[in-house]
Chain A
Amino acid sequence: MDCKGFEDLISAYADGETTGEEAQLVEAHLKACRACGRRLAFIRRSKDILASMPAPEAPADLKAALRVAAAQAEARSRAEPERPGSPSGKALAAGALAGALPGRAEPRPAGPTLLDRTSAWMGTLSPRYGLAFGLAAFLLVGLWFERRQDDPVPIDVMLSAHRRYALAQPLARTDSDPGSVDAPADDLEDDETDD
């Protein structure tokens, strides 16, 4: 193989992307060929320089918009079972980006998922069914059905979704659940009777 044939190999060698056999081939050639030695030296040097090149920072307004959208998306996923009528975090995040980016964001209309519909339906029931665990299980089944329809979901995704709901349950119910430990009873309006 001539030097030209070594060009790609030497480049890959510098990246640590050769097989053991190829590396041996390159090393043997380098012992005999100064031109290819210089080629490798150039690649290594330019790699070093590119790696240490000062990176342009993302502009402050871009970062600010991303932070806001991230916070809202996180809030949405924490408070997933939402009361009907409240603007969803998803919509807020979309709004934040669309606002920061007029006419370009084109958020795809996310039709209500089975999950959204399920939680909307749950919201119309009395808020005091107090079966948080059963609800979580129910939602999980709903989630499972929904996810099953597009692609196989690894079990850990389902579990982490489950954990999210489990965490969200007491928070969502604080204002109306008399059994809640965190809400001081005195501060609650007394128009609700305990069972």
Chain B
Amino acid sequence: MLQRFVEEYSDSAFQFAYRLCDDVEESKELVQEAFFRLFKSWDRYDASQPLEAWFLAILRNLYVDSVKKCDRRNRVSLDAPVRHEDGEGLSIAETMADARDEDILEALERREAVEQVQEAMSSLSRDHQAILTLCDVEGLDYTQIAQVLGAPPGTVRSRVSRARAALKEKLRDRTAGMVA
């Protein structure tokens, strides 16, 4: 059962850790510790629960530990607002920006879109990467995401939305470079 768990979830766990730490060695350490803790409490495993429940526990540990242990020297710390600083309706800048959504969409249809998104993703803050990884890469639902982040379920919706806005902003920068 544990062996199967390792085969099934170690890649995903590593990926999540790597998103959080941006460093292979630190990610390895985080993942080892998280799995180690799970193995220790394995006799409490309730066989009627899906293994996924334990995977969520792993993700939770990775998230908490990464905040304490990974120092992302080159990263901007955030959840700072990405835009809307003016805060009232659609600014001129945003109206223009929205017009260029077509450029972004078009860029995403191209072959190199995957790399574009991957790079944009890597340049996001830890929290934005974490939430998009959980939501779009791992495919967790909002309740599960709240569990992993230790956040009130009601806040997940806006956090996902903000992370997406940030991703779009990064892609906009790239697309602007390509289109100009």
Chain A residues within 8 Å of B, Cβ to Cβ: 2-4, 7-8, 11-12, 15, 17, 35, 38-39, 41-43, 45-47, 49-53, 55-59, 61-63, 65-67, 69-71, 73-74, 77, 80, 90, 93-94, 97, 100-101, 104-105, 107-108, 110, 153-154, 156-157, 160-161
Contact = CB atoms under 8 A, between A and B. Distances in A.
B103 to A, nearest CB: 10
Prevailing SS type, chain A contact patch: helix
B55 interface: no
Nearest to A69: B39
Prevailing SS type, chain B contact patch: helix
A55 B164 contact: no
A43 B164 contact: yes
Nearest to A3: B90
A117 to B, nearest CB: 15
B24 A59 contact: yes
Interface of B: 1-3, 5-6, 10-15, 18, 24, 28-29, 31-33, 35-36, 39-40, 42-48, 84, 89-90, 98, 101-102, 104-105, 108-109, 113-114, 117-118, 121, 132-133, 135-137, 139, 141-142, 157-158, 160-161, 164-165, 167-168, 171
Contact of A62 (B10, B12, B44, B133): B10
B105 A38 contact: yes
A47 B141 CA distance: 13
A157 B12 CA distance: 27
A61 B35 CA distance: 14
B125 to A, nearest CB: 16
Contact of A51 (B33, B40, B136): B136
A70 B101 contact: no
B160 A11 contact: yes
Contacts of B46: 154, 156-157, 160
Contact of B18 (A51, A56, A71, A80): A56
Instruction: Kindly name the residue among A7, A49, A51, A66 whose own CB sees the greatest number of chain B CB atoms within 10 A.
Output: A66
A8 B102 contact: no
A8 B117 CA distance: 21
A57 B109 CA distance: 26
A17 B144 CA distance: 12
B10 A101 contact: no
B31 A45 contact: no
Contacts of B117: 46, 49-50, 53
Contacts of A156: 46-48
Contact of B28 (A43, A49, A59): A59
A110 to B, nearest CB: 7
Contacts of A52: 114
B36 A107 contact: yes
Contacts of A105: 32-33, 36
